[in-house]
Structure 1
Amino acid sequence: MAGGNAIRGTRVGAGPMGESERGETAPRVRVSYWCANGHQTTPAFACEAEQPEFWDCPRCGLPAGQSHEAPPAPPRNEPYKTHLAYVKERRSDADGAAILEEALNRLRKHREEV
């Protein structure tokens, strides 16, 4: 049963007026981009706008380029590193042993004073 408010489901500015009310749209050009998975996307840009070299694929999120034969490579994901892994990159085992010995000596000295 239809009834009630006649403007239900519409929004302000929507309606049949089209371009005559809002003005002419800028001329557009569609550019094709391909990702490493072979997905194609064709966003529209204003003719006078500069088209970006890369575009994110809306299907898989990989970067897409304008060359179908040579799409950009997927980004290399670095594995998660713990704080300890970063410390081990900066310090050798000998450095770690020296720092540990220094800290233990401070603790022993502090215990003797108390």
Structure 2
Amino acid sequence: MASGSAIRGSRVGAGPMGEAERGEAAPRIQVSYYCANGHVTCPSFAEEAEVPEGWECTRCGLPASQDRQNPPPPPKNTPYKTHLAYVKERRSDKEAAAILKEALANLKERRRSGEVIY
């Protein structure tokens, strides 16, 4: 059931006048960008705007450039590293054993003194 509003669903600037009311659109140029998968992306830019050298492909998300023959290579994905993997990069097994031994000795001393440890 309609509410009776005459302007329901319209927006500001949506009138019968069109460009005469809003003014002329800026002159545009289309630039082609090519990705490693062979996709072409053609965004439009204002003629006086600075055109970027690279663009993200709208189909696959890879980086794209204006050079059709040599598109940029896909970025290398590094696998996820756990906290333990980063720790192992910084410490040798010998250092880790010494740190563990020191921590256990500290914990045993705190328990002997009656400190409540959870």
Q: TM-score, normalised by structure 1?
A: 0.86
SS of the residue corresponding to residue 60 of structure 1 reads coil
Whether the 8 Å contact between 2:63 and 2:72 is mirrored in structure 1 is: yes
SS of the residue corresponding to residue 109 of structure 1 reads helix
- After TM superposition, the structure 1 = structure 2 runs for residues 17-28 of structure 1, keeping only pairs within 5 Å, are 17-28=17-28
Q: Which residue in the other structure is 1:49 paired with? A: 49
d(CA) in 2 for partners of 1:56, 1:65: 9
- Structure 2 gap segments, 5+ residues each: none
Q: Which residue in the other structure is 1:107 paired with? A: 107
SS of the residue corresponding to residue 29 of structure 2 reads strand
CA RMSD of aligned residues (A): 1.8
Whether the 8 Å contact between 2:45 and 2:51 is mirrored in structure 1 is: yes
> Could you tell me how far 1:53 is from its partner in structure 2?
1.1
Worse-superposed segment, 4-13 or 72-81 = 4-13
d(CA) in 1 for partners of 2:53, 2:19: 31
Q: TM-score, normalised by structure 2?
A: 0.83
Q: Which residue in the other structure is 2:73 paired with? A: 73
Identity %: 68
- 2:40 corresponds to 1:30: no
Deviation digits for residues 37-56 of structure 1 (CA, Å, limit 9, x no counterpart): 00001101011111111111
Whether the 8 Å contact between 2:13 and 2:22 is mirrored in structure 1 is: no
d(CA) in 1 for partners of 2:74, 2:35: 8
d(CA) in 2 for partners of 1:8, 1:108: 75
d(CA) in 2 for partners of 1:69, 1:6: 55
- Structure 1 gap segments, 5+ residues each: none
Task: Tell me which amino acid in the other structure corresponds to 1:93.
Answer: D
